[in-house]
A and B are shown apart, each in its own frame.
Chain A
Amino acid sequence: MTVKPGERKLPELFRPGRIGRFATRNLIKYGACCVSNYNERDGRISKRELARTRIIAGTGCGMITNQGAYPDPLGEGKAYFRQVAIHDDRFLPEFEEIAGYIHDEGAVAIQQILHAGRYGGIDLGYCIQPSIVPQTLPHFRPPREMSVADIRAVVDQHATAAKRAIRAGFDGTEVTSFMGYLLANFNSRFTNQRTDAYGGSIENRGRFMRELIDGIKQATPDHPLIIRLNGAELMDRWGGNTEDECFELMQQAVDCGVDMISVTVGWQEAPESSIGRDIAPGHWNYLAARAKKLFPNTLIAFGNRLPDPRMANECIAKGEFDFWEVCRPLLADPELVHKAAEDRLDEVRRCVGSLNCLSRLFRDLPYTCTMNPALGHEVEPEYQIRPAAVKKRILVVGAGPAGLECAITAAKRGHTVVVLDKGDRIGGNLVAYAKLDLARSEDLSSIVSHYEVMTRKLGVEIRFNTEATPKLMRGLLHQFDVAVVAAGARIDRARLAGVEGAGRMLDAIDVAHGRVATGREVVVVGAGKIGLVVAESLAQAGAKVTIVEEDKRIAGDVMPSFKWRHSAWVEELGIETLTQTRVQRVTASGVDVVSEKGGERHVPADTVIAATPRLPNQQLFHDFEWMIDELHGCGDSLVPRGLDAAIHEGYRLGCRL
């Protein structure tokens, strides 16, 4: 077999491996990242899911873990609205199909069995737990304590499910305690407060896990069993396990003869981040390294918030773990492993840690990915990049994410694309926000770099410092078949018309781009994401910042899973927030505000920034209406929203032009 150029550069990652009696072609494991909410409500795998798993099978990973399926007929183990079930033979045909896809692609097939415990019973009025410890997140169900008979039944259900998976053609199985599921509930001091043989000492708390391992091993003796265990729960301050205890529990699993430990981090309800954008890639690698050091004879898989194959290659070289377990990076770019093998890493669409995927699962919606608009739409032609039947000349106005996504998608289909932008570089406002972002600037700027690389490789022409106007368009008449307006949005200054001295206010977008200077005492009017990003970055740089917001709450337009992060930053940075408050007057010394209850106050400031809601830039729709054959729009210039909508709409439009 010929070695590809990227494989030579990442020799550890692309080295063949082995689990039990099964050989893997490389040391990359597709992590169980596939609870998708695409399936039937009774747990049967849907056509949409099958199409998705076909893509997963083709990712090039040496080992592929199929989504966590719940093992019990009642659904006490069911965590997600449309989660897959494996408690009955009637589900076998689809599992067989998936195992077939994985084998066809030359990978080892692992089926995960996921009993959600504390986070389960999603269709029931309760969940089951080792002890009655109420929920801290209202999404989940009130608890019922498991009897010893219940425990035995659940162990049996797991063993039967494992047998079923093997009958369907899977090579091995995996059980998971990721993010606080049943296994984690027994292991944890927080949720296991039993006084019988299953609670109390760490030996007793680990009994359920040991019985689970024994049960599955006896049911499927010739097949590997993988266990996902927390290296850190991040629950210790609430009475959960310490990191040391987590490793003691791993020791118990090793002593029971598991074939691989997949090290994970965090619980759903943990008060801190584990895999969000504010966690630097590689942050948790030390947990895997500790596991490898303690258990040199057991395979260790790891990958939480480790999105870069180069870093993974290095970790394997240093002996920190044996398999790179990837999840979200392969949602964002299913071609990641192939691009790495072909030395085309510059073309990778990186997972930016936005957690749009998981946020949607908790709204009982199918998951989607900010960076991969085709995810979950694999059977729909409207989402496929196919050669265009008629090759067109396309003019895109605006080099932000919506315009560029549309441009590269259309170019991939064979169209000729020219992009105009009034600025002198691509990325639009995203460049500015990326620079100011406190979470991880590199994540957002990687999107801009991706567009830089792809427009270059696809021959998309970009004309900078060129404002699209009717005059310019008249000069371009008949040179293009299609125009796409992706001109973004602007701060709606008209909303401030009633404010005396509004002319003194700076525009948040100008501030974000660094086009205007700001002082030491700043008032930001508007606490949506733009206002917050600007306020936080100025406070970080040492300014005293106050936010004034008419609404009851800040971060109204921020994704649910990231609102808390902004609230925390605002607090940590000492930013004062005046909600349900309006600006009346801007003067040389600051702003006069009035609260909903009528309380008036002067807030001293040398800089006042308008970050009120945005207005779409739609004038060009009217200007160009009679000048071009096809006129379309996408992104914020239709309705101001955010990055997800921009990328997804740009892509969908690019697919159908």
Chain B
Amino acid sequence: MGAIEPGVEPLDAAAAGHWQVVFDRSAGLFAGLADGSRMGLVARSALGAVGGRHAAGVAAMLAGAAGPRMRAFEAREGAIEVRESTYSGYARAGVEILFAVDDAALARMRGLAADSVLGALKLALRTGDAMFYVFRTKYELQDAGYEDFLDTLGLAFLGACR
């Protein structure tokens, strides 16, 4: 696998293939997902989700600078197809769910066997090494068939004071 360029989710064929295997192995979780449902994954550093840097990132994007690359996971006939895309801001991301993962966590995931990657993503979400944004309401996500996947990741499907 290629070296990780800081801030960019590596998009070489090997990495894409790796994610494809990850989703194929867990196909059961996505069998009910409506066709066209899309999730995105970007390197968190590129997103500018780190406190104080977001605005500069948005300004750069609006000024026409190329956005960071995004790996898109799209539902087709009960399976997930891994595609490459460009992340151009929250409003235009064209995804229902966006994962923004730290470089180190991304590198860790790439080094894991496909069976362990979703577990690692779950752990990264718990430890704060990955962020998670939703662009649809819970009912829309439920209707689209996301509940199983989100539950597997240990994400509270409802608001949760805990």
A positions within 8 Å CB-CB of B? 119, 131-142, 179, 189-190, 193-195, 199-200, 237-240, 266, 268-269, 271, 273-276, 355, 358-359, 362-363, 552-553, 560-565, 567-568, 571, 580, 596-597
Contacts and interface: CB of A to CB of B under 8 A. Distances in A.
A596 B29 CA distance: 13
24 contacts: A131-B55, A132-B91, A133-B54, A134-B134, A134-B135, A135-B133, A136-B133, A137-B156, A138-B134, A138-B136, A138-B137, A139-B138, A190-B51, A193-B51, A199-B55, A240-B51, A266-B161, A271-B126, A275-B161, A358-B161, A560-B156, A561-B160, A564-B162, A571-B123
Contacts of A553: 148, 151-152
B125 interface: yes
A138 B55 contact: no
Given A362-B158, A560-B160, A567-B154, A137 B134 contact: yes
Interface in B121-158: 122-123, 125-129, 131-138, 141, 148, 150-152, 154-158
B6 interface: no
The 5 A-B residue pairs with the shortest CB-CB distance in the complex, in nearest-first order? A237-B128, A189-B51, A139-B159, A239-B51, A138-B138
Nearest to A141: B137
Nearest to B136: A138
A360 to B, nearest CB: 10
B158 A571 contact: no
B64 interface: no
A136 B55 contact: no
A271 B128 contact: yes
Residue from A131, A136, A179, A562 with most neighbouring chain B CB atoms (10 Å): A136
Chain B interface size, as a band, is 35 or more
B104 interface: no
A358 B156 CA distance: 13
B137 A362 contact: no
A353 to B, nearest CB: 10
Contact of A571 (B122, B137, B138): B122
Nearest to B119: A571
B147 to A, nearest CB: 9
Contacts of B156: 137, 560-561, 563-564
Contact of A564 (B55, B148, B154): B154
A195 B162 contact: no
B131 A238 contact: yes
A139 B50 CA distance: 23
Contacts of B131: 136, 238
Residue from B28, B54, B132 with most neighbouring chain A CB atoms (10 Å): B54
Contacts of B53: 193
A568 B151 CA distance: 12
